[in-house]
Every structure is written in structure tokens, then in C-alpha cells.
Structure 1
Amino acid sequence: MLKAFKMKLYPGKAQEYKRRHDRLWPEMLEMIHAHGGRNYSIFLDESSLTLFAVIEIENEELWAQGTDTAINRKWWDYMADIMETNPDNSPVSTDLPMLFHLD
């Protein structure tokens, strides 16, 4: 199942966002896989600083359980200075409904 969502960077933080993801912690990668996530891509609309993410997940329930892991919360804290976040440092994220898919 594909899941898509959007998030937003602060101005001037695109290169830092990329740098941090290029050095994704092994524990974070393990958590993503353990919670059914594969084939994860994040794209940037430079004009609006909007990030568009697409990930293949096994199911919503398993994926959602990853948010409560210690490593995920640590990652949110690490990223909070460069992107819009909620009070708990989770990214402000909006799910995007799929309107079309072609294999």
C-alpha cells in the first residue's frame, strides 16, 4: 500500500534536511523497516519549501506504531529545528489521498 504526505521546511534548511537524511541513523532505518516501511522517497517543491513523501507500507496500523518508538521521537527532536513541527516535535504532516496510480 502506498502512503503519501506533505511536510514543510523552514527557509534556508533544504540542504541541511538533505544532509541529515543522507546520514540517516541505522536505528531509524531499522525502525522504518520493522514497521512495514519500504521504498521511501521525499521530494522538495523549492518554491514553497513543501516536502512530498511517498512510502510503501504493509498497513496503516503497523506503520502508525512506529511513531511511538524512542528512536522516532529522537529523530523528531533532531529535525525540529529545520521544519514545521507540532508541540511534541512531530512534523506537521498532511496525508495526501491517492487519485491516480499507474504501474
Structure 2
Amino acid sequence: MIRKVCKMKLYKNCYDEYKKRHDEIWLEMKEELKKHGYDNYSIFLDEETGYLFSYVEARDEKSYNEMANTEICQKWWKYMKDIMETNEDNSPKSVDLKKIFYLP
């Protein structure tokens, strides 16, 4: 099992819409995440800055990385691009955060 944390940037006036879209996340997206070993997945918002912090526990690095290549993930990224900073391929601009401490 691996743990991944990253930060992304949400546009200021889109906080409620981001939450709404995740409250209504597509069943196909949930299934694909589970299929790729994603478990215990959370996203937190810093409302002062618009930064999102995602934390996920995944089966392994390979499965984690393969999720980005799925059709449903590509569709989700396209759906989300109007409310957050994205790259040219519609993936969220993100920065992986370095683990400093862990208490099992």
C-alpha cells in the first residue's frame, strides 16, 4: 500500500461547485478508482487560498499511475477543467507533497 498527497488549485468562486460535483461523483468514476486500488481517498479545501489537498491510500504505484490513463478519468478531468487550474491535457495542475511524519 502507498500513500499519496498532493495539492491542486481551485478557482475562488468555484468552491461550492467543486463540492457539488464530488457529492455527485459518477458511479463509473468510483468503480474505476476502486478497481485501480484507490482506498481511503479524501480531498480537503483551504478556503483562504483555494488550495485543495488530496490524500489517498492506493494498492501500489503502478495501479495508482494507470488511473490517469483511463477513459473515465480523462472524462472527469475534462468535466472539472472549468473550475480548477489544469494542464493542457486537462489533468489538474498538482504538486506532490513530501511525507515528513507518519504515526501508524
Q: Smaller-chain TM-score range?
A: over 0.9
Residue 59 of structure 2: aligned partner: 58
Backbone CA RMSD of aligned residues: 0.6
- d(CA) in 2 for partners of 1:36, 1:97: 21
- d(CA) in 2 for partners of 1:99, 1:54: 14
Residue 47 of structure 2: aligned partner: 46
Residue 95 of structure 2: aligned partner: 94
User: Which structure 2 segments of 5+ residues have no match?
Assistant: none
TM-score (norm 1): 0.97
Residue 9 of structure 2: aligned partner: 8
Deviation at 1:83, TM superposition (A): 0.1
The residue identity in structure 1 corresponding to 2:51 is: T
Instruction: Give the secondary-structure state (helix, strand or coil) at the position aligned to 2:5.
Output: strand
Aligned residue pairs: how many?
Answer: 103
Q: Deviations over 1:37-66 (max 9, x none)?
A: 001000001111000000001111111101
User: Which structure 1 segments of 5+ residues have no match?
Assistant: none
| Identity among equivalent pairs (%) | 50
- d(CA) in 2 for partners of 1:12, 1:25: 23
TM-score (norm 2): 0.96
Residue 85 of structure 2: aligned partner: 84
Deviation at 1:14, TM superposition (A): 0.5
Deviation at 1:2, TM superposition (A): 1.1
Q: Deviations over 1:13-44 (max 9, x none)?
A: 00000000000100000111111100100000
Instruction: Give the secondary-structure state (helix, strand or coil) at the position aligned to 2:8.
Output: strand
